[in-house]
Amino acid sequence: MPDNFSKFSLKQCDDIIKALLSYSETQGIEKQTTLNDLVLYYMGYQSPHSLMLKESGQQSVLMAQKMCLSKHQFTRSNFLQALTALCYEYALPEPIEFLSLKDWHAAKIIATFYHQTTEKPLQPIRLTATLDAISQLPTDKKIILLFCIRVFSPEITFEKSELGRMKEEEMTLFLNKVRKSYQLILDDTRLDQWDKHNWSAFYEAVEQNKSLTSLSLNKTSLYLCCLNEEIFQYILNLIALPHLSELFLHNNLLNTLPPELFTKLRGAIDKSPIKHIGLRHVSPEDQGLASSCGMFARYIQRSVDFESGFDGSLTQLSDDASESVASCSV
């Protein structure tokens, strides 16, 4: 079997990491620094001056490299379990709400996440961050955060963030979270600032994440998005995704869309497999029934009065669910 499929047990992974830590201390390198380098090496980052990248005949270094590069799922699982436990052993964790990505070393960041999983196993890990602050982190800290997102799957709340103004690195981080979310809230954001490439990447991330069941796009300027033909198609495609169980589109002025676009939107919702589609500001006679066919299951045989503004009140569809969704809020 090729070396990159080497199989290591949990005990072997633990022993290899401990041997590396012991050797690094003989070289004047602190354990926390070595743990940081080990994570970065595992994530494929070439950290300058890292012990893991030096030409060395030292057995502990060679074995650590072999373990990190193994593609065997058994090894990867055992390595992550051993690594996170040792970070918890050698670094003092803090409450997650005090997490400082900028000031803390990798072991302390990982220990803080690990502490949440061991002390509060039934509670989701909730992390608040801003995309702007994350974009200003050095590369190694961004990689550590990405490592924690992959391993611990926290519920991230992005505060004070302009999704439409994200830089490439910020967009990559955002899309990585979309791919791991079970529920996603993007309320009160200017999605009209996205171009077709942003929308394409977002749709692809949502479409590929079959675990995502709830998506909220309340007050996200979808009216302006729909005026772009290519972006409008991505919105229609979202409405057609079968793995979503609820989709919230409240407060987007969709009632003011040109008749041709609204007809297409209504047709897409009528055929949608999504069980609950929330679309506030549609009059009761036009809203239809909430069913497996979506908002317009009860089709009204008359033209829609676009000038009325759909001022009538409507039955809120899964409004309580909308408030409870908290996996990735922006």
Residue 154 tokens read as 């926290």
CA distance 222 to 206: 17
**Residue type at 59 in one-letter notation:** Q
Given pLDDT bands bounded at 50, 70 and 90, which one contains residue 279? confident
Answer whether 226's CB lies under 8 Å from 255's CB.
no
pLDDT reported for residue 94: 86
CA distance 257 to 121: 46
pLDDT reported for residue 161: 61
CB atoms within 10 A of CB 315: 9
Given pLDDT bands bounded at 50, 70 and 90, which one contains residue 323? very low
| Selection from 204, 188, 189, 216 nearest residue 276 by Cα | 216
Pick the residue with more confidence: 185 or 316?
185
pLDDT reported for residue 55: 59
- Is 145's pLDDT higher than 60? yes
| Selection from 154, 157, 232, 245 nearest residue 191 by Cα | 232
The three-class DSSP label of residue 99 is coil
DSSP bridge pairs for 158: 129
Pick the residue with more confidence: 182 or 273?
273
Answer whether 110's CB lies under 8 Å from 145's CB.
no
> Tokens 């198609």 sit at which residue?
233
Q: What percent of the chain has pLDDT over 90?
A: 38
Residue 114 tokens read as 């690990």
Given pLDDT bands bounded at 50, 70 and 90, which one contains residue 281? low
CA distance 210 to 201: 16
pLDDT one-digit tens code per residue, 35-69: 999 999 999 887 766 777 665 678 999 999 999 99
- Is 167's pLDDT higher than 90? no
The three-class DSSP label of residue 111 is helix
Lowest-pLDDT range of 9-13, 124-128, 252-256: 124-128
**Measured CA distances, 198 to 147, 159, 222, 225 (Å):** 24, 20, 14, 12
Answer whether 52's CB lies under 8 Å from 64's CB.
yes
The three-class DSSP label of residue 247 is strand
Residue 33 tokens read as 């620094």
pLDDT reported for residue 86: 94
Residue positions counted in the chain? 330
Given pLDDT bands bounded at 50, 70 and 90, which one contains residue 160? low
- Is 223's pLDDT higher than 90? yes
CA distance 46 to 49: 9
Give me the torsion for CA of 45, 48, 53, 55, rounded to 10°: 160
CA distance 97 to 128: 7
CA distance 246 to 189: 19
> Tokens 């772009």 sit at which residue?
228
> Tokens 């650590």 sit at which residue?
64
pLDDT one-digit tens code per residue, 283-318: 444 444 332 333 332 222 222 332 333 322 222 222
Residue 182 tokens read as 């079970």
